[in-house]
Amino acid sequence: MQEIKHGFYTPYFYWYFPIIVAGEENLFEKEGLKLDVKDIVKSGQPEDKAQWYLTALQEGVRNFYFCCTWQGVYSTSSTKKGKVVAAAPSTLIKTFGVYTTKTSGISSIFDLATKNGRIAVNKNADSHYVTLKNLREFIPDNQINLVHTGGVEACLRALLDKKVEAATLAGPYAEFADHIGLRRLLGLSRDEPSLVVMDDSVSNDTVGKFLRSINHGIKKIRENPEKYRELYYSQFESVIRGEFPELITNLDGFKDRMTIPVWSDLRPLSSAEFNKTKDFMVDTGLPIGDAEYSKLVNSKLET
């Protein structure tokens, strides 16, 4: 049986939930694969995620990673390790928002500029770029003060501990922010799909089996999201109990109001999507080197 190594980061369960479902439903085994699962992050996500991904691939603790389109283009172009093998939009891309507390003194996104309000994000990741992309429609780039705090749970922690005036949250964390009375300053729009980047050492045959397994999981979620509510909630509850013990009582009633995300099928990343992302990153001033679609994307896999 062929093995795929999954190095996961527990607080981000909601992005790779189809993998969790595929594991629960033994879909990898049906394709002749064994998923070796390891939690590889104990101290939060670093700002230099490209190097973090590279190290994990080189050390063999993971064979692939899920990421936003921006990070996928940046990481593969800067490290020359791995290829984008699939892309898929999900309803999660519409859940981003910038939040603040009721006592922060920030009443609008314009206050963030005039008061030099710090916004907690996971730099060089989706929350960084989706925040920048949307805020620059209202505020000049030089007045947007993004602060790297780590993953989404660290962004929420920084906001609650008043280390920042605002934080970008997504998925169940954004819904939980609404649930506990935090104030949404701006909903953030993201159209770019999430990507799967696979190490070059994995054969196309194995990658195809892996993607088919995930697509079967995606289909199951899409056909009956309610079937997986308890599993989805249990993942979030474990994060709250581990990272936010003071908020455990706030979990009451939250399970029923959570939105179970759904995905479209994994499919190849198009050259148009790649170039749109590349152009944004060049415009943002991020050096991405020799970023060519034909070199960084495997567009011929069957899923």
* 51-63 per-position pLDDT tens digit: 777 787 788 788 9
Element (H, E) at 284: helix 271-284
39 forms beta bridges with 8
For residue 104, CA distances in Å to 82, 89, 138, 248 come to 42, 34, 20, 23
The pair of structure tokens assigned to 224 is 């009956």
Q: Helix (H) and strand (E) counts for the chain?
A: 12, 10
Amino acid 39: pLDDT: 76
Amino acid 41: pLDDT: 65
Q: Are 168 and 121 in contact (CB under 8 A)?
A: yes
pLDDT category at 43 given cuts 50, 70, 90 is low
Amino acid 303: pLDDT: 64
pLDDT digits (tens, 9 = 90+) for 122-173: 988 889 999 999 999 999 999 999 999 989 999 999 999 999 999 999 999 9
What is the overall mean pLDDT for the chain? Answer: 92
Domains of the chain and CATH, by start: 2-90+193-296 (3.40.190.10), 94-187 (3.40.190.10)
Amino acid 257: pLDDT: 95
pTM over 0.85: yes
Mean pLDDT, residues 245-259 taken together = 97
CA 247 to chain centre: 23
Tell me phi and psi for residue 196, to 5 degrees.
-115, 120
